[in-house]
Amino acid sequence: MTYGVIAFSLFFSFIGTVLGGIWADQSWGRFWGWDPKENGALLIVLWNALILHMRFAGYVRERGIMLMAVFGNIITSVSWFGVNMLGIGLHSYGFMDSAFWWLLGFSVSQLVLIALGALPPRFWSNEHRRAA
């Protein structure tokens, strides 16, 4: 199921990025300007594509996909909210003073989830607890 969700998100992230480029071309006369928000959108697409390629090539299995998808949460949140904190580019708006701490807290929580998910499966089983 995770593979399908990532494929779905890759498709729509790619379509949204391309449509944003078409809109920018019609409005500003350029398809791509290497603005931080545009780069963030590209990073989301590339990360999702990397996850799918890693799974297709057999480098990761379901658990690895899920851990990479959780890291994708960090990439997406930084791409959406973090680039506004840079204060540069056409998309530097909507910054709040406390946004940095919320973004940092969210990122740390996702890293904790990744660390917990990366623990060996035997850590989660009751087998070693019964033997003690």
Tens of pLDDT, residues 3-60: 899 999 999 999 999 999 999 999 999 999 999 999 999 999 999 999 999 999 999 9
Question: Is the pLDDT at 92 greater than 70, yes or no?
Answer: no
Residue 98 pLDDT = 80
Question: Which amino acid is located at 128 in the chain?
Answer: H
Place of tokens 């494929």: 7
54-80 pLDDT, tens digit each? 999 999 999 999 999 999 999 999 999
User: Which has the higher per-residue pLDDT, 58 or 86?
Assistant: 58
Please state, in angstroms and rounded to a whole number, the distance separating the CA atoms of residues 132 and 128.
7
Residue 29 region by backbone torsions, left for phi larger than 0, else alpha for psi between -120 and 50, else beta = left
How is residue 88 written in tokens?
A: 């540069």
Look at residue 88 and give its three-state secondary structure: coil
Q: How far is Cα 115 from Cα 93, in angstroms, rounded to an integer?
A: 33
Higher pLDDT: 102 or 85? It is 102
Confidence category of residue 89, pLDDT binned at 50, 70, 90: confident
